A and B are shown apart, each in its own frame.
Chain A
Amino acid sequence: MNQLLENTLTIDGQVVPFSAGQTIMDAALAAGIYIPHLCHKPELKPHGSCKLCTVDVDGRSMSACTFPASQGMQVANNTPALTEVRKTLVQMLFVEGNHLCPTCDKTGDCTLQALGYHLGMLDGHFPPFYPRREVDASHPDLILDRDRCIMCGLCVRASQQIDGKNVFALSGRGAQNHVIVNSPSGKLGDSDLNKDDLAAHICPVGAILPKNHGHEVPIGRRTFDLHTVAESDIATFNLHKTEHHDD
């Protein structure tokens, strides 16, 4: 304790500096510490919904991406108990939607899948929901497959905060939550989404994918075949990707 400097907190016993206004996640990323997350991207306003970044702060459960860092805070992150919690949350996300990795073009590039491996998930564990969700193939360059959506709201925020548009919104309640398109017909083809928008690329799963570009990178050479999801710059790396890193 006595070695704590001003504006520092500890994560799993490691002293980490922070500056005013930073969240626990900001401080951790800056220090190269990985806190698992799905709905967070450093350049967007935090959402705090996926709860993968759940940490225990002085014994209380907090979302690292939204909770402000403060002096002397003791954060438990990489513990067996939290790994178990996060694995359960990933399993819950899998059974809630319709995730068929072998047929999904996102396999190997999918953060949900990568987190499953990272957390030692071996099965979906819970009874699957098999929801009926609409596919929207109306856009010339992009496809919206809601079966794979995890309600992280990254496309909603990217469109509003980076692209200066308002293409997506989360709708419905409870288990009926779903992403909708802000256009007169509710169809993606009717919206002003452009294939170069960040919202078109930011999906951590395979819910928004480019058309006409299937399986260009062979399995075995995809993002998470070459990197682990725990590499702290992976979020930034994915965020700026407009074409595949192999190209």
Chain B
Amino acid sequence: MEVKVFAEKLFAAGREVGFDAMEAYVASRNLFRVGVFKSEIDSYTLAQSRGLSFRGLINGRMGYSFTENLSEDSVALLVDDARANAAVIDSEDPEEIFGGSPEATYADVCSFSPALEQVLAAEKIAWVKEVEQQAYGLDVRVSTVQVSLGNSSGETMLMNTKGLNLAHQGNFADGYVAAVVKEGEDTKSAYAFFSSRDFSRFDPVTLSKEAVDEAISLLGAESIESGQYPVLLRHDVAGEFLATFASSFSAEAVQKGLSLLKDKQGEQIMSSNVTIIDDPHLPERPNSAPFDAEGVATASKEVVAAGRLMTLLHNLKTAKKDGVNSTGNAYKMAFNAPVTVAPTNLYIQPGKRDYADLVAHIEHGLIIIAVQGTHSGANPVSGDFSLSAYGYLVQGGQVVRPVNQVTIAGNFFKMLSDVQEVGNDLHFKMGSIAAPSLLIGSLAVSGK
């Protein structure tokens, strides 16, 4: 059924059972992905999907339901489910159905490239095969290469009974090159991730070289003596740290007692060379949008300015509770998830020094190029982490050898209070949270 027709039927059915205000949130997506293994296509995905999430206020409580089946008989199911879910809500902070931000505040965010839709499947297959071939040709020690490339396009629509009617379209392409290299019994692997709306920016030579060179550079890695070391977190690792602990900036986490940033607004929480920005209008990123999951107009903001906490991230409910305005950070993890709070494109503002310059300034320390297990070894509530890591040992400003089988441990906020230098190498590789390389004064490293 046509989405708008379905929404009208849904709102009519909802009114009959006593819903005061209602919203239909629809996400549709088309997806293509191809992967090769030894010149054969070993994964190829074509997909179209559409889901509708319904929420409505009844007796002052918000009930949610969803469906992927937009047929007539889903209308009653949605309304009944939402009503039953609303009945058990006993949180005192009501959610609201939003009437809309002033028209002029909805930015013109371009997230769709018609050119990307014109790239033929055959071109993408040829590209993936070329990358694979390039990677195998780079070094005899390359034992396995996996390449994946995909693109998706989608539309988000938000319609409600308060007259709000918003839509935003986007498309995007991304993928990875994974290289496994072997020397005797020593096996190492590395990834090169890429994402853009411009297919012509994916260079087979650069990407295959990035993955293979990194894997080769790790051969012969060994652990090091446990101790305190100055540590350079490469940009992707620094970004992963920011992503892991980004929930600390959510007003929802603070209000629920799940963040250390309670009552910290205006205070120095990090080193003065750290500035963190959430910019929902970055032209190149897939999450960029003129409105958030509640229909509030989005805007760029400094979350941390020179180490001081400027604002938490809010949706309508958390803003009301704190007596402030929503920052346009209402978020749904999937079309059918409840509204929470999350950054859109969060990043640490780059500094002036390039990566090589940062390495040159390390007398005796480590470069960390990957951490593992952030979902288990890092606690976003306490800020504590202890993570498996690998990278390189640096002496006298020179990389001397690869290092693995170590863990780095500390506390996120303490670590960001000990940032000595911020690199100029900010790259969004995948996802929507990124950072430049950060030189940390000292971290606990466990090894031998």
Q: Do A and B bind each other?
A: no
Listed in ascending order, the chain B residues whose CB lies under 8 Å from chain A are none
